[in-house]
Amino acid sequence: MHGLHDRWQGWRRRWQLARLRAPEFAFMFAPPPPNEWVALDCETTGLNVRSDEIIAIGAVRIAGQRVMTSERLELLVRPRGGVSPDSVRVHRLRARDVADGLPVQDAVKRLMHFIGSRPLVGYYLEFDVAMLNRVVRPLLGVGLPQPCIEVSAMYHDHKFRQLPPSHQQGNVDIDLRFATLMADLALPTREAHDALNDAVMAALAFIKLQRLRAG
Amino acid sequence: MPNAFNFTASPFDCLTQDEQRTVRDAVDVAYFAEGATLLEPGDAPSHLFVLIKGVVAQLDDGQTVATYGPDECFDGRALVAGRASHRFVALEEVVAYELQREAVMALIAANATFGALLFADIGAKLSALAERHSQHQLHSLTLSRVDEAFLRPPLIVNASTSVLEVVRLFQSERATSVLVRDTHSQPARTGIFTTNALQRAVLDGRPLHSLPVGEMSNFALVTMQAGDQLGDAMALMLKKRIHRVVVLEGTRIVGVLEALDLFSFLSNHSHMITVRIEQASDLPGLAEAAAQITRLIGLLHRGGTRVALIAQLVQQLNARLFERAWQMIAPPALQAASCLVVMGSEGRGEQLLKTDQDNALILRDGYAPPADLGALCDRFSDALASFGYPPCPGQIMLSNPAWRGSVSEFSRRAREWLLEPSDEHLMRLAIFMDAHTVAGDAALLDQVRASVAQVAHDNDALLARFAAAVDAFGHGSSWWGRLLGRGDAERLLDLKKEGIFPIVHGARSLAFAQGVAATSTADRVAALVQQGVLDATAGDELVQSLHLLMGLKLKAGLTELDAGKPVSGAVDMARLTTLERDLLKDALAAVKRFKAVLRQRFRLDTL
């Protein structure tokens, strides 16, 4: 099974590599360094993947059981449109705060260099990756090639395994909210909706859940 | 999360903005499962751990020597030495910051306080602390209330009083000012007449016996409220170029604050109590002065004065207080032919807040004391009780006939204590060893001491029994558990039992074995270091630890007094700051090492 999966990953990588428009990003398709991941979080002007924009990116490398916050990536991005008052209430980044931010292409390039070929980790990562891919696709010709590890899915599996066998069928109601997850895992929390804080917290949850899975 | 690094916990609370940035840029976050080893003896540590969550135990040969909780950090020493000598294990799952070694080294180089707090031994930590405190010392004194300084009681005269009469009053009351009440004006007003105004009165030309003081007085009084701050009083005097302010409580005049008293309060506040003790003419007067001592201690402590210094001051004040009380009670002949001694912590000069009176009276051989000696001694004990020193529950005071007697009687008793070393006798011996003369002929105490010294000191079994009391309150390592602050019942730590007593009694035992005459623990330790019985570092560590423990006990005691509760001697772990907990851990570790030395020296394990 494992061999098959690896072979499929290898094939996928080669296929994507073949479609890569920008050869300087070939490093993203190299085999990832062992035991390393990158936890990622973006703050956006809203939740619409088509129309909203990224305004902050926080990313941090995970090496084994360590979150390498000393090598963190924290970027502010200048959106083309405005910052809606509703979203300011969430992330507290006002238009003037992001006015000096990078153009989104530059920010995403820096992020790709930071990520390298490491798998991505995050909470509700699908959204962040979709937001990023809007910029990545025109650059590379393909989306981010890394496997994505969803912390809420890991948490779901973890809670599911703890259920008595009689309950382990059908739709199980497990509270997957981030605050619930962090509290249940007894991990320290910091102010949410700060891209870097969120990435670090997701990284910690990932490390602990990985550890719990190993038993 | 690096942005959330807690810079209010020691040692990081002394960092500048730039230095805080250094920390943020060099910190990682690591996760350790329960039971995981964070650091192994022989490792070359690459970073300093600062706990965010969880508990880590520091093990030496399998024995827990310290535990660390959130906001606490380790292992500074290993980091600088480049080699870990202890094992650090996660007792509970741990999330910790890892601060890179290079950054720690840079911070140490840039900020001496940080370095001292981080890894230096306890002595250096304390002086680093004192350095920080001293900046606040004068500051906090100037924040004291105006009525905490010495206020002169107001002398009030009528405006029609002649200047000559006022000058007579100055003379008789040793005053330099009077308040002048003018009831003829509408409404009635109050002014002040000072020795400075006297010059103008003389130059006025009218005869002083017929010149009403009201005409020469200044009715633009400068006043302050009793609750105002001394710093403001000082500023006001400097601004208005005046030497006195009238202190009010509401509209009522409570006294006059003179510049001289203000400055002497700020420079040496014990001075006023000494003056009061000297000037008291009866026992109630002394009791008033005694009541001020506790206030002074609180003031000095809040001001950050070193605890050793406070203890020294308190010993001097108490000695003078006891001497004056004894002089008021005992006839001169008895005073001359006897020696009043204080014992226990008072004798060692290590008492801060008032504790039980431990005292005794030694009479010259051949002197026939007055028939009412018993009554006189009772009066003395009662007087001390009225000063706030409760009677000793063990009746170790001169009102008990067992604690008064001639030199030969005391010598015989002391030899009995040595020859029949029951627990009771050894306790008496221990208390008597700390005796210190406060009044009368100190030579009498020396004579008793000399005769005790004649009894062989090389009796190993006796010494071992004497020293064995250091383990009397032995709790093994349970107090480490209490440092974690789990559960309310376990939060209280009896500093005396766990730390102060083992240090004091250990030093006393070694001093006894070596024939050291000094009575204070610090002096005993110094003598033992000189004789090579203790090494200098260990000695320094012991004294610093003792002072730290005394300071913590004082702080807890003052808090209890503020709350109107009796002083219990217990300290609530939850109320300690991280630095205090850190220092306490170091101090208790020093106590543990000292006990090991004693166990080996007196072969306590073979008992």
Closest CA to B348 of B451, B500, B466: B500
- List, for residues A54-109, the tens digit of each pLDDT value: 999 999 999 999 999 988 999 999 888 777 777 777 777 877 778 888 999 999 99
Alpha-carbon distances of B132 from B6, B30, B583, rounded to whole Å: 20, 32, 15
Task: Give the residue, B349 or A85, on which the prediction is more confident.
Answer: B349
Q: Is B52 on the interface with A (CB under 8 A)?
A: yes
pLDDT band of residue B305 (cuts 50, 70, 90) is low
Q: Quick one: average pLDDT of A153-179?
A: 84
Q: Which residues of B touch A196 (CB under 8 A)?
A: 1-3
Given a contact cutoff of 8 angstroms between Cβ atoms, the answer to whether B66 and B58 are in contact is yes
User: Which of the following CATH numbers is that of domain B468-606: 3.30.70, 1.20.120, 1.10.287, 3.30.530?
Assistant: 1.20.120
A70 and B25: CB-CB below 8 Å?
Answer: yes
In sequence order, which residues have a C-beta less than 8 Å from that of residue B582 and are 6 or more positions away?
B10, B72, B125
- The minimal CB distance from A188 to the residues B2, B33, B52 is found for B52
Q: How many alpha carbons lie under 13 Å from residue B144 in its C-beta half-sphere?
A: 24
Q: How far apart are CA B233 and CA B244, in angstroms?
A: 9
Q: How many residues are listed for chain B in this entry?
A: 607
B3 and A204: CB-CB below 8 Å?
Answer: no
Report the SS3 class of residue A33: coil
Out of A10-24, B93-107, B171-185, which region has the weakest mean confidence (pLDDT)? A10-24
Q: Is the confidence at residue A150, as pLDDT, over 70?
A: yes
Whole-structure pTM over 0.80, yes or no? no
Structure confidence at residue B140 (pLDDT): 54
Buried b (16+ CB within 10 A) or exposed e, A34-51: eeebbbbbbbbbeeeeee
Structure confidence at residue B482 (pLDDT): 43
Q: Which residues of A touch B23 (CB under 8 A)?
A: none
Closest CA to B514 of B533, B541, B501: B533
- The minimal CB distance from A190 to the residues B4, B30, B32 is found for B4
Question: Are β-strands A66-76 and A54-63 bridged in parallel, bridged antiparallel, or unpaired?
Answer: antiparallel
Q: Quick one: average pLDDT of A185-211?
A: 88
Q: How far apart are CA A183 and CA A199, in angstroms?
A: 16
Q: Which residues of B touch A200 (CB under 8 A)?
A: 1-2, 29
Q: Is B406 on the interface with A (CB under 8 A)?
A: no
Q: How far apart are CA B606 and CA B445, in angstroms?
A: 35
pLDDT band of residue B481 (cuts 50, 70, 90) is very low
| Domains, chain A, with CATH or none | 2-214 (3.30.420.10)
- List, for residues B253-276, the tens digit of each pLDDT value: 999 998 877 766 665 556 667 777
Q: How far is B99 from chain A (nearest CA, A)?
A: 9
Q: How far apart are CA A37 and CA B591, in angstroms?
A: 47
Q: Is the confidence at residue B537, as pLDDT, over 60?
A: yes
Q: List the domain boundaries for chain B.
A: 17-119, 269-457, 468-606
Q: How far apart are CA A209 and CA B412, in angstroms?
A: 75
B29 and A66: CB-CB below 8 Å?
Answer: yes
| CATH, range B17-119 | 2.60.120.10
Given a contact cutoff of 8 angstroms between Cβ atoms, the answer to whether B90 and B34 are in contact is yes
Q: How far is B582 from chain A (nearest CA, A)?
A: 23
Q: Is the confidence at residue B363, as pLDDT, over 90?
A: yes
Closest CA to B350 of B315, B322, B316, B388: B315
Out of A73-82, A153-162, A164-173, which region has the weakest mean confidence (pLDDT)? A164-173
A197 and B29: CB-CB below 8 Å?
Answer: no
Q: How far apart are CA B232 and CA B143, in angstroms?
A: 8
pLDDT band of residue B480 (cuts 50, 70, 90) is very low
A67 and B4: CB-CB below 8 Å?
Answer: no
Q: How far is B38 from chain A (nearest CA, A)?
A: 12
Closest CA to B230 of B267, B177, B274, B276: B267
Given a contact cutoff of 8 angstroms between Cβ atoms, the answer to whether B297 and B310 are in contact is yes
Q: What angle do CA B555, B317, B524 make, to 5 degrees?
A: 75
Reported ipTM: 0.77
What is the residue-averaged pLDDT of chain A? 87
The superfamily in CATH containing domain B269-457 is Beta Polymerase, domain 2 (3.30.460.10)
B31 and A211: CB-CB below 8 Å?
Answer: yes
Q: What angle do CA B186, B192, B195 make, to 5 degrees?
A: 150
